[in-house]
Amino acid sequence: MLDNALKKQGRARTRVERNKRVYELETEEQWLEFIFEADDEDLPPLTKFAQSYIYERQHPQSCTKHPGGLVIQNKFPVDKAYGLGAVFQSVATDLAYALRTGRTLVYTNNPPGQRFITPSPECGHSLDCIFHKISSCSPFNSTTLGDNPRNVYLPASGAHPPPPSYYETNPESIPPLLGYLLRRENPDITHPAMKYWWRTQAMAYVMRLNKKSLQHLYKFRTDSTKQHGIHVYQDASGQTKRKDVPFTFPLGASSSTRRFKADKSCWAIHVRHGDKSIEMALRPLESYLLPLQASIVTNPLSSLSNCAFISTEDPEVLEQIKDIHNLLPEFVKTRSVKSGFTYYWSDIFRINGSPEAQLTGFTGEDGNGGWNGVKGTRTELTLMWLGQAIMQGEAAGFVGTRGSGWNRLIDTLRCVWFAGCNAPWIEVGTRASWEGYGP
């Protein structure tokens, strides 16, 4: 498999080509090839090696006679309190432990992240319903994989206490070979930055969507009744005007109007509200748009245009967009009088609350009848969220905060899947959201 990926080395695709290509990936081999097609300088350091390294160790020659044993992962004790981003970050931590100790990480039939999936006969109650399997040994079955004394169960319990190796290194340490190579290439890299790098690599691997999921998301992305755009501008008298515009696929591709030229570069914004206030101070919409508009005004030669795709769980944010000129200072308005700004969004279910509130609202489990009178499934809403994250990768710049796990997840996809690590990131969070990542 790695040999085939190496043959794709250097076959870089344009941003628009990669945005289309991602929906065509069917196999694990194609996912690895997709990453190898990108230019190394557009990816996080050592990405191609790291993705190959993870894949090979998660697909051992033998599961029953694994020399190092398995790390067998059950759902987390507080699984119902975890958002999707937190689930993936926790899996990344356990994957690092497995690789550090020469083991392979596998899920049990009672894996993490179950609340995001509606059980089905085809795939059970697992994230394997929407992603490629985390390992060729998953799901773990003691009758078929045997009872290797080196197997480790996580989270640990009285019946399965952690081995001494679990305490010998920091739980957030990355696999030693990767850590050595990363420090050799980047001597000034900080520990928080190394942890962030590893989470990016691990989540990019764990989140490889399977063929069925990508086909579902492609259908949604190309459904013009589900994708919307609005152009907001001021006329000569200073009146705010609005008009509907098509949300092309991919973002910035050619449109029938003169204003939208082929392969135009747009921004992406994720406004994180909902229950995030328990962890960080929420930022109003203008906190995202003001630095974005300032960047556009002060960089007249930039290829990034006055357009942005917005995702959020807060429906009020989309209402505010329609009168956005009232939120912006005069110096920005003068830039927008002539050209205005174009915003894009998707028609998805939104509740300004916790993930569980959104899930129960969408499925009708809260007693309110579902979405527009239709009761969906947890899997369908989870795919809607993941589709929004993928659509963020269509943009050439991003506005958000690394204080949000979901924003960090978006950063993973835009950097690794869409080779956009050199694209601008405008941080709107507090100093704590980014402090420690730099050299």
Residue 303's pLDDT is 81
- Taken as a whole, the chain contains a residue count of 439
> Is the pLDDT score of 404 beyond 60?
yes
> Is the pLDDT score of 386 beyond 90?
yes
Residue 336's pLDDT is 47
pLDDT tens digit string along 129-169? 999 999 998 777 666 666 778 888 888 776 778 788 777 77
65 vs 71, 141, 375, CA distance in Å? 14, 14, 46
Residue 254's pLDDT is 54
Specify the pTM.
0.90
> Taking Cα atoms as reference points, which of 310, 325, 303 lies closest to residue 229?
310
Residue 340's pLDDT is 79
Cα(207)–Cα(199) distance, integer angstroms: 12
Mean pLDDT across the stretch 353-358?
92
Cα(200)–Cα(30) distance, integer angstroms: 19
CB 73 within 8 A of CB 106: yes
pLDDT tens digit string along 240-299? 788 999 998 888 665 444 333 344 689 999 999 887 766 677 888 989 988 888 888 788
Which residue type does 3 have? D
Structural domains of the chain in order of their starting residue, each with its CATH number: 39-208 (no CATH), 217-433 (3.40.50)
Mean pLDDT across the stretch 3-21?
70
Number of CB atoms found within 10 A of residue 108's CB: 18
> Is the pLDDT score of 11 beyond 60?
no
Tell me what the pLDDT averaged over the chain comes to: 86
> Taking Cα atoms as reference points, which of 426, 370, 433 lies closest to residue 398?
426
E runs forming strands in 126-193: 152-154
> Taking Cα atoms as reference points, which of 234, 231, 256 lies closest to residue 245?
231
Q: Is 148 helix (H, G, I), strand (E, B) or coil?
A: coil
Residue 296's pLDDT is 84
> Taking Cα atoms as reference points, which of 262, 253, 228, 256 lies closest to residue 243?
228
- 36 sits in the region (left: phi over 0; alpha: psi -120 to 50; else beta) called alpha
Share of residues in the chain with pLDDT > 70 (%): 86
Mean pLDDT across the stretch 3-25?
75
pLDDT tens digit string along 167-225? 777 766 899 999 999 999 999 999 889 999 999 999 999 999 999 999 999 999 999 99
**pLDDT bracket for residue 60 (50, 70, 90):** very high
Mean pLDDT check: name the lowest of 76-90, 109-123, 303-317, 388-402: 76-90
Residue 262's pLDDT is 40
pLDDT tens digit string along 311-355? 999 999 998 887 766 666 555 555 544 577 889 999 999 999 999
Cα(16)–Cα(258) distance, integer angstroms: 19
Residue 122's pLDDT is 85
> Is the pLDDT score of 407 beyond 80?
yes
Q: What angle do CA 184, 186, 191 make, to 5 degrees?
A: 100
Rg for the chain (alpha carbons), in Å? 22
pLDDT tens digit string along 67-99? 888 999 988 888 788 889 889 999 999 999 999
Residue 78 backbone dihedrals phi, psi, to 5 degrees = -110, 35
Name the one residue in this structure whose structure tokens are 């007693």.
367
Higher pLDDT, 433 or 143: 433
Helix, strand, coil percentages, rounded to 5, for the chain? 45, 15, 45
Residue 439's pLDDT is 46
> Taking Cα atoms as reference points, which of 183, 176, 177, 149 lies closest to residue 163?
149
Torsion of CA 309, 311, 317, 320, to 10 degrees: 10
E runs forming strands in 376-420: 397-400
Q: Is 22 helix (H, G, I), strand (E, B) or coil?
A: helix
CB 254 within 8 A of CB 261: yes
Share of residues in the chain with pLDDT > 90 (%): 53
Mean pLDDT across the stretch 97-120?
92
